[in-house]
Protein backbone atom coordinates (compact mmCIF):
# COMPACT_ATOMS: atom_id res chain seq x y z
CA UNK A 1 0.00 0.00 0.00
CA UNK A 2 1.25 3.48 -0.86
CA UNK A 3 0.70 6.50 1.33
CA UNK A 4 1.51 10.03 0.19
CA UNK A 5 2.73 12.19 3.06
CA UNK A 6 2.08 15.89 2.55
CA UNK A 7 5.45 17.06 3.83
CA UNK A 8 8.80 18.19 2.50
CA UNK A 9 10.33 18.06 5.99
CA UNK A 10 12.94 15.30 5.68
CA UNK A 11 13.17 14.85 9.47
CA UNK A 12 9.43 14.26 9.67
CA UNK A 13 9.46 11.87 6.67
CA UNK A 14 12.32 9.90 8.26
CA UNK A 15 10.33 9.51 11.49
CA UNK A 16 7.18 8.43 9.64
CA UNK A 17 9.07 5.92 7.47
CA UNK A 18 10.76 4.49 10.56
CA UNK A 19 7.48 3.99 12.43
CA UNK A 20 5.72 2.49 9.40
CA UNK A 21 8.70 0.35 8.27
CA UNK A 22 7.12 -2.97 9.29
CA UNK A 23 3.54 -2.09 8.35
CA UNK A 24 3.69 -2.82 4.63
CA UNK A 25 2.98 0.86 3.91
CA UNK A 26 5.27 2.61 1.42
CA UNK A 27 5.70 6.28 2.38
CA UNK A 28 5.98 8.70 -0.54
CA UNK A 29 7.04 12.30 0.07
CA UNK A 30 6.03 15.34 -1.96
CA UNK A 31 9.44 15.31 -3.66
CA UNK A 32 8.20 12.34 -5.73
CA UNK A 33 5.74 14.61 -7.57
CA UNK A 34 6.05 17.61 -9.86
CA UNK A 35 3.87 20.71 -9.74
CA UNK A 36 1.83 20.08 -6.60
CA UNK A 37 0.21 23.03 -4.89
CA UNK A 38 0.63 22.76 -1.12
CA UNK A 39 -2.19 24.21 0.99
CA UNK A 40 -1.39 27.27 3.06
CA UNK A 41 -1.23 26.52 6.78
CA UNK A 42 -3.54 29.33 7.85
CA UNK A 43 -5.91 27.34 10.06
CA UNK A 44 -6.48 28.21 13.69
CA UNK A 45 -5.99 24.64 14.96
CA UNK A 46 -3.75 21.65 14.27
CA UNK A 47 -6.88 19.84 12.95
CA UNK A 48 -7.60 22.63 10.43
CA UNK A 49 -4.08 22.65 9.01
CA UNK A 50 -3.70 18.86 8.86
CA UNK A 51 -6.99 18.49 6.99
CA UNK A 52 -6.25 21.31 4.53
CA UNK A 53 -2.86 19.85 3.63
CA UNK A 54 -4.06 16.25 3.29
CA UNK A 55 -7.15 17.04 1.23
CA UNK A 56 -5.22 19.32 -1.17
CA UNK A 57 -2.57 16.68 -1.94
CA UNK A 58 -5.03 13.76 -2.04
CA UNK A 59 -7.14 15.62 -4.62
CA UNK A 60 -4.11 16.41 -6.80
CA UNK A 61 -2.48 12.96 -6.67
CA UNK A 62 -5.64 10.86 -6.56
CA UNK A 63 -4.06 8.89 -3.70
CA UNK A 64 -4.61 8.42 0.01
CA UNK A 65 -2.74 11.20 1.78
CA UNK A 66 -1.48 11.75 5.31
CA UNK A 67 -0.70 15.20 6.65
CA UNK A 68 0.09 16.32 10.12
CA UNK A 69 0.21 19.56 11.92
CA UNK A 70 2.14 19.53 15.08
CA UNK A 71 3.84 21.93 17.36
CA UNK A 72 4.90 23.00 20.77
CA UNK A 73 2.49 24.52 23.27
CA UNK A 74 4.13 26.32 26.18
CA UNK A 75 1.95 27.06 29.22
CA UNK A 76 3.88 30.20 30.25
CA UNK A 77 3.28 31.62 26.75
CA UNK A 78 -0.45 30.94 26.75
CA UNK A 79 -0.08 27.89 24.51
CA UNK A 80 2.20 29.56 21.96
CA UNK A 81 3.88 28.93 19.59
CA UNK A 82 1.18 26.29 18.83
CA UNK A 83 0.20 26.24 15.14
CA UNK A 84 2.95 28.80 14.50
CA UNK A 85 5.73 26.54 15.84
CA UNK A 86 7.55 26.14 12.50
CA UNK A 87 7.41 29.88 11.81
CA UNK A 88 7.59 31.23 15.37
CA UNK A 89 10.52 33.52 14.50
CA UNK A 90 8.98 34.41 11.11
CA UNK A 91 8.25 32.79 7.76
CA UNK A 92 11.19 30.62 6.69
CA UNK A 93 12.81 30.74 10.14
CA UNK A 94 15.36 28.04 10.96
CA UNK A 95 15.08 25.67 13.92
CA UNK A 96 17.85 27.63 15.60
CA UNK A 97 16.03 30.95 15.13
CA UNK A 98 12.79 29.49 16.52
CA UNK A 99 14.65 28.02 19.51
CA UNK A 100 16.43 31.32 20.20
CA UNK A 101 13.12 33.21 20.19
CA UNK A 102 11.55 30.64 22.52
CA UNK A 103 14.45 30.99 24.97
CA UNK A 104 14.22 34.79 24.78
CA UNK A 105 10.48 34.73 25.55
CA UNK A 106 11.05 32.34 28.47
CA UNK A 107 13.98 34.30 29.93
CA UNK A 108 13.43 34.71 33.66
CA UNK A 109 10.65 32.09 33.81
CA UNK A 110 11.52 29.64 36.64
CA UNK A 111 12.01 25.93 35.84
CA UNK A 112 8.81 24.98 37.65
CA UNK A 113 6.78 27.15 35.25
CA UNK A 114 8.34 26.03 31.97
CA UNK A 115 5.87 23.24 31.17
CA UNK A 116 5.28 22.45 27.55
CA UNK A 117 3.67 19.82 25.38
CA UNK A 118 4.35 18.58 21.88
CA UNK A 119 0.99 18.05 20.14
CA UNK A 120 0.28 16.31 16.85
CA UNK A 121 -2.86 15.88 14.78
CA UNK A 122 -2.68 13.68 11.68
CA UNK A 123 -5.32 13.66 8.98
CA UNK A 124 -5.61 10.65 6.66
CA UNK A 125 -7.72 11.78 3.71
CA UNK A 126 -9.05 10.24 0.53
CA UNK A 127 -9.18 12.12 -2.80
CA UNK A 128 -12.93 12.50 -2.11
CA UNK A 129 -12.21 14.47 1.06
CA UNK A 130 -13.12 11.83 3.64
CA UNK A 131 -10.75 12.10 6.63
CA UNK A 132 -9.81 10.24 9.78
CA UNK A 133 -7.82 11.93 12.55
CA UNK A 134 -5.13 10.58 14.86
CA UNK A 135 -3.70 12.53 17.79
CA UNK A 136 -0.69 12.35 20.07
CA UNK A 137 0.66 14.46 22.92
CA UNK A 138 3.70 14.34 25.18
CA UNK A 139 4.30 16.54 28.20
CA UNK A 140 7.68 17.98 29.08
CA UNK A 141 9.62 21.00 30.26
CA UNK A 142 11.48 23.65 28.29
CA UNK A 143 15.15 23.88 29.26
CA UNK A 144 17.18 27.09 29.31
CA UNK A 145 19.79 25.61 26.96
CA UNK A 146 19.90 23.03 24.16
CA UNK A 147 20.98 19.44 24.86
CA UNK A 148 21.44 16.70 22.26
CA UNK A 149 21.93 16.53 18.52
CA UNK A 150 19.21 14.09 17.38
CA UNK A 151 15.79 15.13 16.11
CA UNK A 152 14.83 18.55 14.83
CA UNK A 153 12.79 21.61 15.75
CA UNK A 154 12.45 22.21 19.49
CA UNK A 155 13.71 18.70 20.41
CA UNK A 156 16.99 19.95 22.02
CA UNK A 157 15.02 22.17 24.45
CA UNK A 158 12.22 19.71 25.28
CA UNK A 159 13.05 17.74 28.43
CA UNK A 160 11.12 14.49 29.00
CA UNK A 161 11.01 13.86 32.76
CA UNK A 162 10.25 10.12 32.45
CA UNK A 163 13.41 9.58 30.38
CA UNK A 164 15.69 12.11 32.08
CA UNK A 165 16.78 13.71 28.81
CA UNK A 166 15.65 15.88 25.92
CA UNK A 167 13.91 14.57 22.81
CA UNK A 168 17.17 15.34 20.97
CA UNK A 169 19.07 12.92 23.23
CA UNK A 170 16.78 9.96 22.58
CA UNK A 171 17.61 7.26 20.01
CA UNK A 172 15.23 7.55 17.04
CA UNK A 173 13.37 4.31 17.80
CA UNK A 174 12.67 5.41 21.38
CA UNK A 175 11.67 8.90 20.29
CA UNK A 176 9.27 7.40 17.74
CA UNK A 177 7.75 5.22 20.43
CA UNK A 178 6.95 8.02 22.90
CA UNK A 179 6.68 11.20 20.80
CA UNK A 180 3.47 13.01 19.90
CA UNK A 181 3.96 12.03 16.23
CA UNK A 182 4.84 8.46 17.18
CA UNK A 183 1.66 8.13 19.24
CA UNK A 184 -0.48 9.43 16.36
CA UNK A 185 1.30 7.13 13.88
CA UNK A 186 0.74 4.07 16.05
CA UNK A 187 -3.00 4.86 16.03
CA UNK A 188 -2.81 5.33 12.24
CA UNK A 189 -1.18 1.91 11.73
CA UNK A 190 -4.04 0.22 13.61
CA UNK A 191 -6.61 2.06 11.49
CA UNK A 192 -4.86 1.36 8.17
CA UNK A 193 -4.59 -2.37 8.93
CA UNK A 194 -8.36 -2.45 9.38
CA UNK A 195 -9.02 -0.81 5.97
Active-site residue list = 69
**For residues 99 and 157, is the Cβ–Cβ distance under 8 A?**
yes
Per residue, the 3-state secondary structure of 106-168, as one string, reads CCCCCHHHCEEEEEEEEEEECCCCCEEEEEEEEEEEECCCCCCCCCCCCHHHEEEHHHCEEHH
Specify the DSSP class assigned to residue 71.
E
For residues 12 and 191, give the distance between their C-alpha atoms in angstroms, rounded to a whole number.
20
Instruction: Give the length of the chain.
Output: 195
CA angle (150 as vertex; 114, 100 as ends), nearest 5:
45
**For residues 67 and 5, is the Cβ–Cβ distance under 8 A?**
yes
Of residues 76, 73, 92, the one with CA closest to residue 154:
73
Amino acid sequence: MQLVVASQNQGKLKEIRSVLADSGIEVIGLDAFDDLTVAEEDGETFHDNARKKAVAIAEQTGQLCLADDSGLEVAALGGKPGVYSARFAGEGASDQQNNELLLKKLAGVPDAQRQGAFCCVMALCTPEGECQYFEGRIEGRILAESLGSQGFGYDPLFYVESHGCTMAQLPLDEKNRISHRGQALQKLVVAVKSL
